[in-house]
């Protein structure tokens, strides 16, 4: 009798699954057909000329907009750019650049690479490449800077109001995952890990082995500002410090094949050497897998500020004509079971913004040794420092390029020959405040957004005239509070200004050498490592 009951139930399950699949397939086919006919009619009948590729790009972006920001469409060029980022090697001018309206800004020329050899500086505004005015281009003008090794490109740029030209000879550019490492205080190895590409583990291991040979008895691994990259490289970096067979992260998805457990597979370099990992609000993805794994296994003390909180894993999926969809396939979890995702993209507020999990809602987990750690908001350091924090005002200053532009102004108005003598003074900070006012720097707080919404609603209720005076007084008070916020976050802002200014004079090598002696997070890491009792107490 039991068999007669079970078989029909299974059959019904198969029936409903099949019907569901066919229903989804029909709905997809239906929507594609609607879109295709709309796209055709639009191109044939619209009053002005339209570009099909541009329309399609916008349509795809619109379709993905309500998902998480990491599920994106890549055209052929973006696919190639992703390959370059993962390999760390490409041919070009050897500079980080940012496209702005009608120009390309040189953000950072790499020392001894083509752009640097041609005399370009951070802050230079490229307005013409060859005979092409950037203002006349709709596509990414940066593509014109790429070319075969040994080929040349002439650029016209503006610097401090003056126009000049430079001829750049393109060459191979090798972006190191470990751009700097050094033995400090005779027994502490300091390693900067800037990205997770295919060379990350090899370079990190080589730096670690070399530092140990020089006498390093303790290690600082600097992941600040590291946006992440390849998942397997993150696992392998942790493996340098922990035994084979340890679970570093698990991924969970609605799709069974993406549910995986990632363990260390190789023999470690050193499982005993005291280790401090530095993180901040721009440490994300693979950086959080490394810091979270080492924290949960009680293998390292984490110092700095709460990390970004990107608990999602993406995978590129090939489409036609060399394009790809980079799609979020799963969430990842640290060894203790934490999902450190800070923003909930699947539940949004009335403005359509993803909801940030409240600290009161964080769940507690236990590390391997029994310490309490929490989920929901990135990796919380064992030792927190204000200098490493990215508050809303600091983030706004970065987004508006205020810190970058002030550093450009500073560079052309100050002489400096030795990083050892540099100090960002109170007078410099006052100059920065004046610079913000002169350039009408503004940013909108969440408080302002809410009050603006309230004023708009009052218009619908015919109450705006009655409350407009009070509203204006309130906005004046908020402006004063924002001015005060800049003063209150002086430590954060000065740290970022110092970093940006030093890169202008001494490149990243000079910046890292300066930080070793002056940066509060590195100094705190050294203090923790030099106090064996404190180090052990934190981990126990």
**Which sequence positions are flagged as catalytic?**
285, 296, 310
HEC states along 164-199? EEEEEECEEEECCCCCEEEEECCCEEEEECCCECCC
Query: Residue 203: which region, alpha, beta or left (left: phi > 0; alpha: psi -120 to 50)?
Result: alpha
Helix (H) / strand (E) element for 519: namely: none
**Residue 333: how many other CB atoms lie within 10 Å:** 23
Q: Which of 475, 500, 490, 507 shows the shortest CA–CA distance to 426?
A: 490
Six-digit token string for 162: 């003056």
List, in sequence order, every residue forming a beta bridge with 327; answer none if it has no partner.
315
Six-digit token string for 126: 């490229």
Provide CB contacts within 8 A for 502, sequence distance 6+: 419, 422, 510, 511, 514
Measured between alpha carbons, how far is residue 429 from residues 190, 380, 420, 443 in Å?
A: 30, 30, 19, 19
Six-digit token string for 356: 């940030």
283 φ, ψ (degrees, to nearest 5)? -90, 115
Query: Strands 275-279, 218-222: parallel, antiparallel or unpaired by DSSP?
Result: parallel
Q: What is the DSSP letter of 369?
A: T
Query: Strands 89-92, 343-348: parallel, antiparallel or unpaired by DSSP?
Result: unpaired
Provide CB contacts within 8 A for 289, sequence distance 6+: 231, 234, 235, 238, 248, 249, 332, 334
């Amino acid at each position: 009798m039991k068999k007669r009951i079970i078989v029909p139930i299974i059959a019904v399950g198969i029936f409903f699954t099949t019907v569901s699949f066919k229903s989804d397939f029909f709905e997809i086919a239906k929507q594609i057909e609607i879109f295709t006919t709309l796209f055709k009619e639009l191109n044939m009948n619209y009053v002005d000329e339209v570009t099909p590729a541009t329309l399609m790009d916008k349509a795809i972006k619109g379709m993905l907009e309500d998902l998480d920001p990491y599920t994106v469409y890549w055209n052929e060029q973006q696919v190639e750019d992703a390959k370059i980022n993962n390999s760390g090697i490409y041919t070009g001018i050897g500079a980080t650049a940012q496209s702005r309206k009608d120009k390309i800004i040189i953000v950072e020329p790499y020392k001894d690479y083509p752009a640097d050899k041609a005399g370009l500086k951070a802050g230079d505004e490229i307005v013409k490449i060859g005979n092409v005015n950037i203002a006349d281009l709709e596509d990414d003008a940066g593509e014109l800077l790429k070319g075969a090794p040994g080929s040349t490109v002439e650029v016209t740029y503006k610097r401090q109001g003056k126009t000049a030209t430079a001829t750049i000879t393109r060459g191979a550019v090798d972006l190191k995952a470990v751009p700097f490492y050094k033995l400090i205080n005779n027994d502490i190895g300091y390693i900067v890990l800037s990205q997770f590409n295919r060379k990350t583990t090899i370079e990190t291991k080589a730096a670690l082995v070399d530092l140990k040979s020089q006498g390093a008895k303790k290690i600082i691994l600097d992941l600040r500002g590291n946006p992440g990259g390849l998942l397997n490289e993150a696992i392998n970096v942790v493996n340098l410090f922990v035994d084979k067979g340890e679970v570093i992260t698990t991924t969970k998805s609605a799709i069974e094949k993406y549910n995986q457990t990632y363990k260390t597979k190789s023999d470690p370099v050193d499982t005993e050497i005291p280790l401090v990992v530095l993180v901040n609000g721009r440490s994300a993805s693979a950086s959080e897998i490394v810091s979270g794994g080492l924290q949960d296994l009680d293998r390292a003390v984490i110092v700095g500020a709460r990390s970004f909180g990107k608990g999602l894993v993406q995978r590129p999926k090939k489409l036609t004509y060399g394009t790809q969809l980079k799609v979020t396939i799963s969430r990842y979890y640290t060894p203790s079971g934490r999902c450190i995702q800070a923003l909930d993209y699947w539940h949004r507020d009335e403005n359509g913004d993803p909801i940030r999990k409240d600290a009161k809602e964080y769940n507690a987990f236990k590390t391997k040794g029994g310490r309490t750690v929490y989920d929901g908001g990135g990796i919380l350091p064992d030792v927190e420092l204000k200098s490493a924090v990215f508050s809303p005002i600091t983030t706004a200053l970065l987004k508006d390029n205020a810190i970058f532009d002030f550093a450009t102004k500073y560079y052309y108005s100050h002489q400096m020959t030795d990083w050892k003598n540099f100090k960002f003074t109170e007078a410099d900070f006052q100059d920065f405040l004046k610079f913000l006012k002169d350039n009408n720097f503004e940013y909108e707080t969440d408080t302002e957004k809410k009050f603006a919404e309230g004023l708009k609603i009052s218009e619908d209720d015919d109450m705006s005239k009655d409350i407009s005076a009070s509203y204006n007084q309130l906005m004046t008070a908020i402006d004063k509070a924002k001015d005060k916020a800049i003063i209150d976050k002086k430590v954060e802002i000065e740290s970022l200004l110092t970093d940006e200014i030093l890169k202008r004079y001494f490149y990243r090598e000079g910046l890292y050498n300066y930080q070793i002696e002056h940066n509060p997070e590195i100094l705190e890491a050294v203090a923790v490592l030099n106090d064996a009792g404190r180090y052990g107490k934190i981990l126990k």
